[in-house]
Amino acid sequence: MSAVTVRVPAKVNLQLGVGPLRDDGYHDLVNVFHAVSLFDEVTAEPAGRLEVRVEAALDARVDVGGVPADDDNLAARAARLVAARLGVEPRVALRIRKAIPVAGGMAGGSADAAAALVACARLWDDPGEPALDRDDLVELGAEIGSDVPFAVLGGTAVGVGRGERLTSALTRGTFHWVFATAGFGLSTPAVYAECDRLRELRGEPAPQPSVSEELMTALATGDAKGLGAALTNDLEEAALSLRPSLGRVLDAGRELGAIGALVSGSGPTCAFLAGTEEDADGLARALDGAGVAAQVHRASGPVPGATVV
Ligand code: C5P
């Protein structure tokens, strides 16, 4: 086989309920993931040794400067895991073309790892009698990071535990989103730590999170307004505490007609829900004009997870 290219979506968290800090340094979560139509592409091609190249996708103004182009790249870890599982050497060149904001709270690095899992399995596994099915790749993904399994699966799903134990959620229709990126990144561990710090400061015990019934009903009935009202993110306060300017971005989106607004994951990207595709186009133009964001992207969801193209 020569080269395999896999397209993989970004995610937004429709609900991110953060529970207590566990002994292993992770938090118990209830995480409702939703895959949206902002895609990275990863091409895997046989090579003399494991190589990684990272570039911005054509006409995506993504700053890839902070992405490691070596063994530390999550896609390289994915390739090594698949190789070890199949008993082959990880001799592959991975070319990553990014359109998902880097360090943006949209799981771009995890998406690349998921794409590499799928691409390398296609490259090295026996097509007649595959040793690894999609469930195996979802499981391998959990060894790389909490958001990787979802990027393999796609759609809309509820994650519990560290966020990696997934169940697909029933949804109806398509939801229309606008994403506003920031000119800076936020470190995920730093945002979780700030969430713990703020809770401790208030003397507030971490709640055990549970799935929002309102959210699930809105998803199942395709009710955009209901979904907008049910969006929640327990990390939002922490992200705003570290970067207060994000509050102005959220306010701007709400004033310009978003029916739901929240920080995506650990941020700093802000996500806005619109009622219709036209509303989303208008909101994107208005937000761009308001000059509060580094970049504004339109996307819709749910979309499938990592897919060979
Ligand atoms: O699993 P992953 O490496 O993607 O997580 C990145 C960081 O996010 C962790 O090192 C941890 O600080 C934080 N995290 C957490 N609880 C989770 C998931 C992630 O504290 N359930």
The domain made up of 4-169 is a member of CATH 3.90.45.10: no
pLDDT average, residue stretch 75-104: 96
The confidence score (pLDDT) of residue 164 equals: 87
Exposed e or buried b per residue across 205-235, where buried means at least 16 C-beta atoms within 10 angstroms of its C-beta = ebeebebbebbbebbeeebbebbbebbbbbb
Cβ of 196 below 6 Å from ligand 1: no
The confidence score (pLDDT) of residue 42 equals: 98
The confidence score (pLDDT) of residue 227 equals: 98
Band (pLDDT 50/70/90 cuts) for residue 142 is: very high
Name the active-site residue from 40, 112, 125, 147: 147
Cβ atoms of 108 and 98 closer than 8 Å: yes
Structure tokens at 273: 């829900």
255/289 Cα distance (integer angstroms): 13
Residue nearest to atom 4 of ligand 1 (CA): 145
- Ligand 1 mean position, distance from CA 40 (Å): 22
Alpha-carbon torsion 13, 15, 20, 22, what sign? negative
Say which DSSP state 183 is in.
Answer: S
Average pLDDT over the chain, rounded to whole?
96
Least confident segment among 33-37, 69-73, 75-79: 69-73
The confidence score (pLDDT) of residue 276 equals: 97
* Active-site annotation holds for 11: yes
For the stretch 211-235, pLDDT in tens is 999 999 999 999 999 999 999 999 9
For the stretch 97-130, pLDDT in tens is 999 998 899 999 999 999 999 999 999 999 999 9
The second-level CATH assignment, the architecture, of 175-301 is 2-Layer Sandwich (3.30)
Determine if residue 108 is labeled as part of a ligand binding site: yes
Q: Where are the domains of the chain?
A: 4-169, 175-301
29/303 Cα distance (integer angstroms): 23
Band (pLDDT 50/70/90 cuts) for residue 163 is: confident
Global confidence as pTM: 0.95
What end-to-end distance do the CA atoms of the chain give, in Å?
Answer: 14
Please state the ipTM of this predicted complex. Answer: 0.92
